[in-house]
Amino acid sequence: MAMKSGTYLLPSGKSILLIFSILLAIAPNWLAIAQRQGSSRKPNRSATLLGWYIFKGPDGDFSLAFPSKPEPFESGIEGPVTSIRHYQVSTKAGNHFSINLQDVGGDPRSRDANEFGQKDEVIAAAAARERGERVVQVQRVAKNIIEMEVWQPVKDTPNNLHRLDHAILRRGRMYTLGCGSLIDNKEVDKSTCQKFFKSIRFTARLNSL
Rounded to an integer, what distance in angstroms lies between the CA atom of residue 161 and that of residue 123?
22
Query: DSSP 3-state assignment of 197?
Result: helix
Report if residue 4 sits inside a domain. Answer: no
Query: DSSP 3-state assignment of 204?
Result: helix
Q: 136 and 129 in contact (C-beta within 8 Å)? A: no
pLDDT at residue 204, rounded to an integer: 61
Report if residue 45 sits inside a domain. Answer: yes
pLDDT at residue 165, rounded to an integer: 95
Please give the tally of structural domains in the chain: 1
User: What phi and psi values does residue 196 have, to the nearest 5 degrees?
Assistant: -65, -50
The alpha carbon torsion through 191, 20, 116, 152 (nearest 10 deg) reads -40
pLDDT at residue 46, rounded to an integer: 37
Kindly give the parts of the chain with pLDDT less than 70. 1-50, 75-81, 204-209
pLDDT at residue 14, rounded to an integer: 46
pLDDT at residue 106, rounded to an integer: 82
State pLDDT tens for residues 129-164: 999 999 999 999 999 999 999 999 998 999 999 999
Rounded to an integer, what distance in angstroms lies between the CA atom of residue 64 and that of residue 77?
23
The vertex-130 CA angle with 15 and 11, nearest 5°, equals: 5
Domain of residue 186, residue span = 9-204
Q: Provide the pairing of β-strand 62-66 with 71-73.
A: unpaired
Rounded to an integer, what distance in angstroms lies between the CA atom of residue 95 and that of residue 183?
8
Report if residue 3 sits inside a domain. Answer: no
Percentage above 70 pLDDT, the chain: 70
CATH number (domain holding residue 140): 3.40.1000.10
Rounded to an integer, what distance in angstroms lies between the CA atom of residue 64 and that of residue 154?
28
Identify the DSSP state of 12: P
Report if residue 34 sits inside a domain. Answer: yes
